[in-house]
Amino acid sequence: MEDKLCVLLVASERHGQEFLRVLGATQVAYEIIIANDLEAAAAALTRRPIPIAVVDVRGVQQRSDLDPALHFFRRHPGLLGILSLAYYEGPVTGELFQQWPSGIMVEGVYTYLWRPWYPEGVRRLLERAADAVRQGGRQYA
């Protein structure tokens, strides 16, 4: 029997519970550890090996709002990082989102998870991330 793959979710308690609800029955394939902030996430990484992290960033108004999450991924280069963002938040325009992917990809982010979270999309993304971890690589999705 294969061990569950550990996934670190960095999100508020409320959004962490929402993520687990969206995962539904799929979550049995993963051990989900929820950290309420990046400092708690870094501490969790010192206690045990965790190959995948989903960092939920809220209130993005400009690219610099992503800097703490990107810095976290750079500090943990062995981590397969997934950045969770709202598809649209306030004044952030579609043009600005279109500029981010190529720049962010080189900063330790494996892929993006757009909110609102949908069960099938979350399940497929975690499956791809788990496959990449098992293959020992971080191919970008």
At residue 106, φ and ψ (nearest 5 deg) are: -80, 0
Q: What percent of the chain has pLDDT above 90?
A: 26
Confidence of residue 27 (pLDDT cuts 50, 70, 90): low
Could you tell me the CA-to-CA distances from 140 to 5, 66, 82, 90, 109 in Å, in that order? Answer: 19, 19, 10, 28, 8
Q: Note whether 35 and 48 are within 8 A (CB).
A: no
Q: What percent of the chain has pLDDT above 70?
A: 74
Q: Indicate the class that CATH gives domain 5-134.
A: alpha beta
Q: Please give the pLDDT value at position 36.
A: 94
Question: If you average pLDDT over residues 16-31, what whole number do you get?
Answer: 81
**Which segment of 25-29, 69-73, 93-97, 108-112 scores lowest on mean pLDDT?**
93-97
Question: If you average pLDDT over residues 118-132, what whole number do you get?
Answer: 89
Question: If you average pLDDT over residues 134-140, what whole number do you get?
Answer: 65
Q: Taking 80 as the threshold, does the pLDDT of residue 96 lie above it?
A: no
Rounded Cα–Cα distance for residues 110 and 20 (Å): 21
Q: Please give the pLDDT value at position 120.
A: 87
What does R_g of the chain's alpha carbons equal in angstroms? 14
